[in-house]
Amino acid sequence: MADNESTNAQTSGLKRHTISLYVSNKPGVLIRISLVFARRGFNIDSLVVSAANDPAFSRMVIVATGEEKTFDQILKQLAKLVDVIDARDATREDVVQRELALVKIRATPDTRSEVLQVANAFKSDVVDIGKNTITIMTTGKSAKMDSINNVFDKYGVVEVVRSGKLLIGRGDTVI
């Protein structure tokens, strides 16, 4: 979420929450989980689902924006779902978190070297160079992804694809 969007969310009483779920790997689980959010008026900003160690289960990381008191109810309702093994608020947990972004930037022959220098400053990899565009791949915290979009806006961001937030507990901690 861009800085101005974060500010708007905070002033309106809305807050960004990160939820970690360990769920059964069965058809229909995702829809039941998303309905919990929809019924409470929460918008899901990011959703990542991946296989767990055991193929019978999946990990989900959901980033959603809404009111704190409503969020507590959502977490309780998620924990009650049959296919949800574990539901926790990972917003303030000590975790390693990363996102991956592919960003296609307008880059004319006049701006190409400048765009490449900025990409290098963000430790991004160039994955494609077209006649008038450069596509970069970068990883990092969500705030870094937001910053990259803001910096490249002056050149013209043609397209952005973000993976959503991935997290894993630090050390021996399992999220």
Question: 124, 71 in Cβ contact below 8 A?
Answer: no
Residues 111 and 136 in one domain: yes
Q: Is the pLDDT of residue 89 over 80?
A: yes
By the 10 Å C-beta count (0-12 exposed, 13-18 middle, 19+ buried), 132 is classed as: middle
Domain finish residue from 54, 89, 124: 89
**Looking at residue 147, what DSSP letter applies?**
H
Q: How many domains does the chain have?
A: 2
Residue 127 has pLDDT above 90, yes or no: yes
Q: Does residue 59 sit in the same domain as residue 118?
A: no
In Å, how far from its chain's centre is CA 163?
6
Is residue 19 one of the residues assigned to a domain? yes
Give the pLDDT band of residue 5 (cuts 50, 70, 90).
very low
Residue 43 pLDDT grade (very low, low, confident, very high; cuts 50, 70, 90) = confident
Q: Which domain holds residue 57?
A: 3-89
Burial-class residue 117 by CB neighbours within 10 Å (0-12, 13-18, 19+): exposed
Whether residues 65 and 32 share a domain: the answer is yes
Q: Is residue 175 part of a domain?
A: no
Q: Which of 8-12, 80-84, 129-133, 160-164 has the lowest mean pLDDT?
A: 8-12
What percentage of residues in the chain have a pLDDT greater than 70?
93
Say if residue 29 is in the same domain as residue 54: yes
**pLDDT(9) > 70:** no
- Tell me if 173 is assigned to some domain: no
Based on the domain organization, do 83 and 114 belong to the same domain?
Answer: no
Shared domain check, 64 and 115: no
Assess whether pLDDT exceeds 70 at residue 110.
Answer: yes
Q: State the pLDDT confidence band at 12, using cuts at 50, 70 and 90.
A: low
CATH of the domain at 164: 3.30.70.1150
Residue 174 domain-assigned (yes or no) = no
Considering the domain architecture, whether residues 18 and 71 belong to the same structural domain is answered as yes
Percent of the chain with pLDDT over 90: 78
Is residue 84 located within the same domain as residue 119?
Answer: no
Residues 72 and 108 in one domain: no
Which pLDDT score, from 0 to 100, does residue 67 have? 85
Mean pLDDT, residues 84-90: 95
pTM value is 0.81
> Is 18 part of any domain?
yes
> Taking Cα atoms as reference points, which of 130, 133, 157, 155 lies closest to residue 145?
157
The pLDDT tens digits of the residues spanning 94-103 come to 899 999 999 9
Are 86 and 33 a contacting pair, CB within 8 Å? no
pLDDT at 1: 41
